[in-house]
Amino acid sequence: MADEGAVMDAVEVETGAGEVESGQEQVEQGAEQIAEGAQQPEEKGPYTTQAFREFRAALNALKAQHPEQKKFIQQALDNHGRIVALTQIDPKGIDGVRERYALLDGLSRGELKGPDALTAIQEELATSEEVDSYLASGDPKVFDSLGEDFNAGLAKLAPAYLDRVAKTDPAAFEAAVLPHFVSTLAGSDLVREFNALVDVLNAKDDPRFDDATKMKFAVTQLAKMGNWLNGLQAKAGEIKPAGAAAGNGQDDIQSERSKLEQERQTLHWDSKIKPVAVAHENKTFDTLFEPYQRRLKLDAAAKADLMQAFKGGLERAVKQDAGYMRQMAMYQKQRNPDPAIVTNYVKNAINKHSKAVMESLVKVRYSPFLTAPAAPRPPAANNGNGVKPGPVPPNVEVRTVMPPRNEIDFQHTPLEWMASTRPGGKQYRLFGGKVIQVRLAQ
């Protein structure tokens, strides 16, 4: 997904003060028509036809009461109309549009990206359909459609293809092979030696070719023909079938190339994509947790543990997002996918799931503390009825009574804290991470 500003610029329409009123009616009519056309009988929500009418009536009444605010009221109605239209395009509104834009922006074909890549893919699909039709009808034009780059590969596939035809359509195999077989045989040594034998055996009244000579010549010629056939058979045996490995050396080279390619791809992801994604995860965690931290005041260890749980929850959430997993699989199959496109898509997924993950973690871990009433603060100094004076370390709250046992994290509270007899008093760590120091009143 592109950055937020670019997306907003793409979907927002800027209007001047003089254009608000003139475009207002068109926006209202357009939004209402879209909502009426797409609305289901029992559809509920703030962006339905009925809700839009109520919103418009309320703003018109407000405009009559405060004519000096007319421009801003009309702008609010104008913006609401756009949201109605946007929601009808995608039920998830701007989030859905962002996801679709990220998916489109993530398409690549060669050096082309986004809409240009989509156009290229569509053109290739059209060409592929044309080739399929040629193949299905047996039209030789299919070879022109493939181009010269495929000639070498087609030649290697010819033996396997002929074997297939021999099994599926023997008559077609004979029609394809017989003319080439006869042409090759006509100019071969076999036919030449055979014709010479026939000429000698048919010779009459020639003193050079008595019966003994003819027999000897016939044996010689038959041996030559046999050698030709044996040589042809040996040559056929040496021919490797299409797709056979070129040898162990070639296999080793190919294996090494594949290994190097995998290492290069791993380096590309680890150096250009993952660091950006991790940084965005950390920033998102800090932003979402900051309001809770004001009350919880977790120490570094507790906060690091929560962040680890947050990332684990994010990982589970995206794995359940079939669309995200499918798109990431496509990126991983690409050679050197564009880091900006991939990281923007990942950021969009983090933004989509992070709030729910954080709310779930806080609810499970800290709900009792966050919902409990705040304890009264003890007096800052001993006035005869308060606690003993003394410095208070950071993240420590001084109380005069021991906190409820169900709030104490006994597992992470050192024994020496609870058994302390020092002037500072006993200390207890709560589940939220805060430390309570109990100082007896004087």
Tell me: pLDDT of 269 over 60: yes
* Axis-axis angle for helices 300-319, 339-371 (nearest 10): 120
Tell me: pLDDT of 279 over 90: yes
Name residue, tokens 């799931």.
353
| Beta partners for residue 246, in sequence order | none
The 10s digit of each residue's pLDDT in 137-158 is 777 777 777 777 777 777 777 7
Tell me: pLDDT of 388 over 80: no
Tell me: pLDDT of 71 over 70: yes
Find the mean pLDDT for residues 178-200: 82
Percentage of the chain beyond pLDDT 90 is: 8
Helices (H), 39-69: 49-65
pLDDT value of position 378: 52
- Residue with more model confidence, 202 or 382: 202
The 10s digit of each residue's pLDDT in 73-126 is 888 888 888 887 777 777 777 777 777 777 777 777 666 777 777 787 777 777
The residues, ordered by sequence, that sit 6+ positions from 30 with a Cβ below 8 Å of its Cβ are 81, 85
Burial (CB < 10 A; 0-12, 13-18, 19+), residue 276, is middle
Percentage of the chain beyond pLDDT 70 is: 78
Find the mean pLDDT for residues 218-238: 82
Distance between CA 402 and CA 296 in Å, rounded?
A: 19
pTM over 0.75: no
The 10s digit of each residue's pLDDT in 355-376 is 999 999 888 888 877 776 655 5
Q: Are 354 and 288 in contact (CB under 8 A)?
A: yes
Closest CA to 439 of 381, 395, 394, 375: 381
